[in-house]
Amino acid sequence: MPSYTAPRRDIQFVLREFLDTDTHYAALDGGEAAVTPDLLDAIVDNAAKFAEEVVAPTFQSGDAQGCHFANGKVTTPAGYAEAFRAWGEGGWQGLTVPVAEGGQGLPPSLGLCVTEMVGAANWAWSMYTGLSGAPVTCLLNGGTEALKARFLPKLLSGEWAGTMCLTEAHCGSDVGLLRTRASDNGDGTWNISGTKIFISGGEQDITDNIVHAILARTEGAPAGTAGISLFIVPKFWVEEDGSLGAFNNISCGAIEKKMGLKGSATCVMHYDGARGFMLGGENQGLALMFKLMNTARIGTALQGLAMSERAFQGALAYARERLQMRSITGPKNPDGPADPIIVHPDVRRMLMTQKAFTEGERAFLYWLAQQADLAMRGSEAQAAEAGALLELLTPIAKGFCTEAAQEVAYLGMQVFGGHGYIADHGMEQIARDNRISTVYEGTTGIQSLDLVGRKVLGSGGELLRGFTKQIHKFCQAWEGDAGMAEFVEPLARLNREWGELTAAVGEGAMADAEMVGSASVDYLMFSGYVTFAWIWARIAEVSLRRLAEEPADAAFYRAKLATARFYYQRLLPRARAHAEAAAAAPDSVMALAEDEFAF
């Protein structure tokens, strides 16, 4: 079983050199806690140690043991509760929560960095910490001061955990069809009745209480999404002083038998007149929940990065050790019976693909997290620009990073050959654990429709133009530079084609409304490949600049440059196929009548 080692050097490269995080943090307005270089190093180092020493040991054992359900109770794998308690005691749960609300007031980008390492160590365990942030975010956005004082302290200390409760069996992602009901008790509380499915951590033996953030419909509310409200509902009632009261009529009916993430309890939850509090106003639930959903979508993109890193580390270690056949250019291990498989070109192709996607995901998502910093704490102009970028790029991040991670995880199995298919080496677990990432928080298809329909065409192309202008300015800045030509010229060409493809899809949609749906996934994938081309061009620029300084660790920057070239030569050409598919009329997609799919 390959162990997990936090990629400290690459994280430091992305933070310090690619993103100039020291300058970024120093320039943030309204920051409650100054992120000095020493503090940044301390957080990264301590999070890495926590991930490696506390969380990583639960990775394979948690999968083997799984969660167990009996008599309405869930038992989690050994070590989960102890790790969660250490997480809370270390102050990690409140890292990015405002100081005034009991947190440490650090920027969201630092939280994302920590989450990557902890998630790569064991994503199933980390889901309990991530979902505990759901009621926290909901309370911060829609809770009264009294409610925040009632719930936040023990949620932030890790004494209590939380959930996000949207999905119902009959409606899936179409939350406007939900049936869970809320009735007003007339005393500031509401009774919630209904059933939710796929509730991660809905029941567990890790904490004393579980606080559910629930979408429900009040009596007489409008149909559809306009009539949805948001409620905070604890498993055990919470008195005004924060102490625990009576059981609150919340029960777990079952846990799902899943492909992966077996240490994370995915629950069917019944709310039988459970008391809770409304957040915000009546019928404002979806607006409040969307503030959480965008964060959750970036968090799911981060799962793609975490699983990619884990798969790449395992494949690389095995490729260095496994002896099989001789190099076609002559023995590279003449004293051994065969050469390590890393000498073979096809193994190199797989490892380079893993490396290009993984390191590209990290640079992209950390940059996106900086936009979240600016949206919260930047100047008015910075917040507006960053908010627009987040609107456009969140569905690309969630859709593209998780789809790329699928390839990285399966390549990890492929490098191991037959050994990748058995449990001992952990590679098939990574593939199973990652598989859900393309599904939850909105499938790739839903992300794609959101991108094309709401964000690009819905804004009249304005959101897209804001980003493509950034790419254009980058290309202009390096036009004529001999060292950057191999990156800038194809990037500039694809950036123009992005606008042309958008126009083609928009014109096609005016002639046939099915065009948006038929083009959407290919459009998102094209967008992802171009976005990563911009990321890798920027990485190449930093690497060329550093190599000119003749640093002691020049090999690191040469590797970055080689990976950028591999991305451009071997992966970026896929963008053109996606563009051709996206521009095709929807006729072939919609040609068959329903009864013609099978005979």
Domain boundaries of the chain, sorted by first residue: 458-586
Query: In 3-state terms, what secondary structure has residue 402?
Result: helix
CA atoms within 13 A on the CB side of 399: 27
What pLDDT shows up at residue 177?
A: 87
CB atoms under 10 Å from CB of 175, counted, come to: 18
Pair of tokens at residue 431: 């593939």
Question: And the tokens for 117?
Answer: 């390492």
Cα distance between residue 250 and residue 232, in whole Å? 13
Its pTM stands at: 0.96
CA dist 367 and 386 (Å) reads 11
**Helix H or strand E encompassing 124:** helix 123-142
Q: Characterize 89-116 residue by residue with b for buried, 16 or more Cβ atoms within 10 angstroms of its Cβ, and e for exposed.
A: eeebbbbbbbeebbbbbbbbbbbbbbbb
DSSP state of 20: -
Q: Cα–Cα distances in Å, from 323 out to 88, 339, 420?
A: 44, 5, 15
> What whole-number distance in Å separates Cα of residue 66 and Cα of residue 256?
11
Instruction: Write phi, then psi, for 516 (nearest 5 degrees).
Output: -60, -50
Of how many residues is the chain composed?
599
Q: What is the pLDDT of residue 329?
A: 94
**Partner residues linked to 554 by β-bridges:** none
Q: How far is CA 336 from CA 323, 328, 417, in A?
A: 8, 16, 21
CA-nearest of 229, 259, 179 to 440 is 259
- The pLDDT of residue 175 is 80
User: What pLDDT is attached to residue 262?
Assistant: 98
Name every residue whose Cβ is closer than 8 Å to that of residue 38 and which is 6 or more positions away in sequence: none
Two structure tokens written together for 26: 């120093």
Q: What was the pLDDT predicted at 225? A: 87
First and final C-alpha spacing in the chain: 47
Residue 547: exposure state from Cβ atoms within 10 A (0-12, 13-18, ≥19): middle
Count of CB atoms within 10 A of residue 74's CB? 19
Q: What is the DSSP string of 316-356?
A: HHHHHH-B-S--TTS-SSTTSSS-BGGGSHHHHHHHHHHHH
Place of tokens 């019944």: 270
Residues 186, 190: Cα–Cα separation, whole Å: 8
Looking at residue 25, the DSSP 8-state letter turns out to be H
Tens-of-pLDDT digits for all 599 residues of the chain?
A: 668 999 999 999 999 999 999 999 988 865 556 789 999 999 999 999 999 999 999 999 999 999 999 999 999 999 999 999 999 999 999 999 999 999 999 999 999 999 999 999 999 999 999 999 999 999 999 999 999 999 999 999 999 999 999 999 988 777 888 999 999 999 999 999 999 999 999 999 999 999 999 999 999 999 998 999 999 999 999 999 999 999 999 999 999 999 999 999 999 999 999 999 999 999 998 888 777 766 778 888 999 999 999 999 999 999 999 999 999 999 999 999 999 999 999 999 999 999 999 999 999 999 999 999 999 888 899 999 999 999 999 999 999 999 999 999 999 999 999 999 999 999 999 999 999 999 988 899 999 999 999 999 999 999 999 999 999 999 999 999 999 999 999 999 999 999 999 999 999 999 999 999 999 999 999 999 999 999 999 999 999 999 999 999 999 999 999 999 999 999 999 999 999 999 999 999 999 999 999 99
Residues labelled catalytic: 441
Q: What is the pLDDT of residue 1?
A: 65
